[in-house]
């Protein structure tokens, strides 16, 4: 009896298993049939509706940089900057003589040499409050032009200058980007700004003959883009070759040693061409056009200031103490400062503006020049620049500003040992 019960139970289990298998098979066939039916119906509807195909995005077109940062697909290697500053440093009223109108504009052009590290069809860099025109891109290796489709200046917080190209920029290739620009001097003590001071004592209330004007830069932290189009981020380091066109009887100072050429065709203009800088960030570029002068006897260290202050001997202490401080920090840090050093003290009627610090120990020199103020001018501030005048003069394609006189090898020349500190 027990054997018969077991056999009956096994028969029932076997029947349930076969039933389950049959149901599962039917469901599987039904699912497959449904899928096939859906595919067929979808294809039929697709032929009837004929929808627009999906757009295909070119792999070379990237989205604008996120978080206000450059993409890093193009790396600048060097800049060749030409700037014409037509500012008059003084306007003297003369009887029966028409005085020139002061001009607060500047113009120039920049050629940026780039290395492509990621394939792209768009160039992003920075520009602010400028008219930018005549963009031109060239492959340096093949010497072929790269067509420019369009360029747009983003009037938002990004301050991007976007240049759309017709052809791709390929990885490993070197390119040059030429841009012409125009801008205005400002009184906000940022970018390339205007500063004024008095030279002497006014003869009467409305006497403007003692007014002196100068143009100077303060490019920290992100104001280099207000002077010339550039990749204005600290990581985008490059060498800077700077040439400044300025009026006669003015002095142009910058980071490096410069040579000044007097124009043969127009005696009202001078051209100062500075030696290339070391590889550095764009905000470290510094220059001024003014009547600053120096009486420093040393060929290694020079201090520039207003002619009145230099003649009164107010720069003598800075000349005498700078070299001992320099020697102290050389011994302290174990780093030899083999380059020449120049300093310029610019008097402003505003707060202290920091500028270029080229070595760690130069910071103390800056503080020294700041503290070494004139007793009668203690209510004002000193703008102290630090710079380096070493380096070989670089060569490369240079284009001068439109309408500016050009320097020729036959022109008379005088060395402008001016390094904006």
**Greater model confidence, 179 or 323:** 179
When pLDDT is cut at 50, 70 and 90, the band that residue 339 belongs to is low
* Sheet strands (E) in 275-313: 287-290, 301-304
Angle at 239 between CA 238 and CA 243, to 5 degrees: 135
Tell me which residue has tokens 């410069």.
258
CA–CA dist 345, 373 (Å, integer):
9
**Per-residue pLDDT for 49 more than 70?**
yes
At residue 387 the predicted structure's pLDDT band, cuts being 50, 70 and 90, is very low
Whether residue 105 is predicted with pLDDT greater than 90 in this model: the reply is yes
3-class DSSP assignment, residue 58: coil
Of the candidate CATH numbers 3.30.1300.10, 3.40.50.10540, 3.10.290.10, 2.60.40.1730, the domain formed by 68-293+392-416 belongs to 2.60.40.1730
| 129 phi-psi bin (left φ>0, alpha ψ -120 to 50, beta other) | left
All residues at 6 or more sequence positions from 221 whose CB lies less than 8 Å from its CB, including other chains: 283
Q: Given this model, what pLDDT does residue 302 score?
A: 83
Residue 326 has pLDDT above 80, yes or no: yes
- Name residue, tokens 């070494």: 372
Cβ neighbours of 291 (radius 10 Å)? 17
- Is residue 411 classed exposed, middle or buried when 0-12, 13-18 and 19+ CB atoms within 10 A define those classes? middle
Q: Which of 21-30, 80-89, 113-122 has the lowest mean pLDDT?
A: 21-30
Contact 329, 364 (CB under 8 A): yes
Strand partners, 196: 213
- Which pLDDT belongs to residue 45? 80
Cβ atoms < 10 Å from Cβ of 372: 18
Each domain of the chain, given as residue ranges in start order, spans 1-51, 68-293+392-416
Nearest to 273 by CA among 120, 142, 132, 395: 395
Please state, in angstroms and rounded to a whole number, the distance separating the CA atoms of residues 69 and 282: 15
Mean predicted confidence (pLDDT) in 182-190: 93
Q: Can you tell me the mean pLDDT for 254-273?
A: 90
Q: Which helix (H) or strand (E) holds 314?
A: none
Highest-scoring range by mean pLDDT, 31-40, 273-282, 303-312, 365-374: 273-282
Q: Which two tokens stand for residue 166?
A: 């017709």
Pairing of strands 211-218, 191-198: antiparallel
Highest mean pLDDT of the ranges 149-153, 349-353, 370-374:
149-153
d(CA 407, CA 259): 11
The pair of structure tokens assigned to 327 is 């020697």
Residue 302: phi, psi to the nearest 5?
A: -135, 145
Q: 70 and 236 in contact (C-beta within 8 Å)?
A: yes
DSSP β-bridge partners for residue 214: 195
Is the Cβ–Cβ distance between 372 and 400 less than 8 Å?
no
Lookup: tokens for 223: 């104001």
Alpha-carbon distance values, 372 to 145, 345, 381 (Å): 54, 10, 11
Q: Which residues contact 327 (CB under 8 A, 6 or more apart)?
A: none
Per the document, the length of the chain is 421
| Longest Cα separation, the chain | 144
The stretch 375-402 carries a mean pLDDT of 40
Question: CB of 74 within 8 A of CB of 235?
Answer: no
pLDDT, average across residues 289-305: 85
Which residue shows structure tokens 């009467």?
204
Are the C-beta atoms of residues 208 and 363 closer than 8 Å to each other? no
Three-class SS state of 402: coil
CA distance 393 to 257: 9
Average pLDDT over residues 17-42: 86
Report the share of the chain in percent with pLDDT over 70: 71
- The winner for highest mean pLDDT among 43-47, 254-258, 350-354, 382-386 is 254-258
**Distance between CA atoms of residues 81 and 243, nearest Å:** 6
């Amino acid at each position: 009896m027990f054997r018969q019960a077991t056999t009956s139970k096994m028969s029932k289990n076997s029947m349930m298993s076969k039933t389950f298998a049959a149901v599962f098979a039917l469901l599987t066939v039904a699912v497959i049939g449904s899928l096939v039916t859906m595919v067929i119906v979808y294809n039929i509807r697709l032929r009837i509706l004929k929808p627009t195909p999906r757009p295909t995005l070119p792999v070379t077109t990237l989205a604008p940089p996120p978080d206000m940062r450059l993409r890093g697909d193009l790396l600048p290697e060097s800049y060749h900057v030409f700037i014409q500053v037509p500012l008059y440093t003084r306007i003297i009223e003369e009887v029966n003589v028409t005085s020139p109108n002061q001009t607060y504009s500047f113009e120039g052009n920049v050629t940026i040499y780039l290395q492509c590290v990621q394939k792209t069809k768009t160039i992003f860099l920075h520009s602010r409050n400028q008219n930018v025109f005549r963009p031109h891109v060239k492959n340096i290796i093949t010497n072929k032009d790269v067509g420019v489709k369009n360029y747009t200046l983003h009037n938002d917080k990004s301050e991007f200058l976007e240049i759309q190209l017709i052809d791709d920029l390929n990885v490993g290739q070197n390119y040059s980007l030429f841009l012409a620009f125009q801008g205005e001097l400002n009184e906000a003590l940022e970018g390339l700004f205007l500063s004024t001071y008095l030279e002497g004592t006014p003869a009467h209330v409305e006497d403007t003959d003692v007014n002196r004007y100068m143009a100077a830069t303060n490019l920290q932290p992100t104001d280099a883009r207000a002077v010339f189009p550039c990749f204005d981020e600290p990581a985008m380091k490059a060498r800077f070759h700077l040439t400044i066109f300025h009026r006669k009887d003015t002095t142009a100072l910058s980071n490096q040693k410069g040579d000044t050429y007097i124009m043969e065709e127009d005696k009202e203009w001078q051209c100062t061409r500075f030696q290339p800088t070391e590889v550095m960030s764009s905000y470290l570029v510094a220059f001024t056009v003014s009547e600053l002068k120096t009486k420093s006897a040393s060929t290694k260290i020079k201090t520039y200031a207003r002619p009145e202050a230099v003649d009164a001997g107010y720069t003598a202490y800075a000349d005498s103490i700078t070299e001992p401080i320099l020697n102290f920090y050389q011994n302290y840090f174990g780093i030899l400062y083999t380059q020449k050093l120049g300093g310029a003290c610019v008097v402003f009627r505003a707060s202290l503006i920091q500028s270029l610090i080229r070595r760690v120990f130069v910071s103390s020199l800056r503080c020294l020049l700041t503290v070494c103020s004139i007793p009668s001018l203690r209510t004002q501030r000193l703008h102290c620049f630090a710079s380096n005048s070493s380096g070989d003069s670089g060569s490369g394609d240079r284009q001068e500003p439109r309408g500016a006189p050009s320097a020729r090898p036959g022109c008379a020349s005088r060395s402008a040992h001016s390094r904006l500190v």
